[in-house]
């Protein structure tokens, strides 16, 4: 075990690390995203244009992945839906996030540290 740790120490020479308990393990710094260590996946429903405000606020915090049900607004008013999606896209661009639609009734929006896997069922709504 000591030989293994010695090899790790040699390879990490020059990098920050801490030794504890007589070379029994090496502790490395872990990266945090914006000071927050957890990511929240949060569902939203848009029934009216004003319902996008909480979505925008949580996206701007930087640690929320939003799953947005657009069906209620889609059934009610397509013009308002397009307006809401454009506002979400603009905010997504501003935070350097990613946005895509899946199925006909949902969109997903991620912050800059995450990306959306695109398949045949996922539509890129940036176009």
**Tens-place pLDDT, residues 78-103:** 999 999 999 999 999 999 999 999 88
Beta strands in 1-127 (DSSP E): 18-20, 25-27, 40-45, 64-69, 98-102, 106-110, 122-123
24 has a pLDDT exceeding 60: no
Does residue 48 lie within any of the structural domains? yes
Question: Do 79 and 105 fall into the same domain?
Answer: yes
Q: 0.85 cut: is pTM over it?
A: no
**Two tokens, residue 19:** 């030794």
Does residue 35 lie within any of the structural domains? no
Rounded-to-integer distance, Cα 77 and Cα 85, Å: 12
4 has a pLDDT exceeding 70: no
- Counted domains in the chain: 2
Question: Do 99 and 58 fall into the same domain?
Answer: yes
**Two tokens, residue 95:** 């935070």
């Amino acid at each position: 075990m000591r030989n293994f740790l010695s090899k790790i120490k040699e390879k990490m020479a020059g990098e920050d690390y801490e030794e504890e308990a007589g070379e029994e393990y090496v502790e490395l710094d872990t990266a945090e995203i914006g000071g927050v260590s957890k990511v929240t996946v949060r569902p939203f429903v848009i029934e009216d244009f004003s319902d996008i405000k909480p979505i925008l606020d949580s996206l701007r915090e930087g640690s929320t992945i939003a799953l947005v049900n657009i069906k209620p607004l889609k059934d009610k008013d397509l013009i308002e839906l397009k307006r809401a999606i454009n506002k979400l896209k603009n905010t997504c661009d501003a935070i350097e996030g990613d946005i895509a639609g899946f199925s006909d009734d949902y969109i997903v929006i991620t912050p800059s540290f995450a990306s959306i896997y695109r398949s045949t069922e996922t539509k890129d709504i940036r176009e």
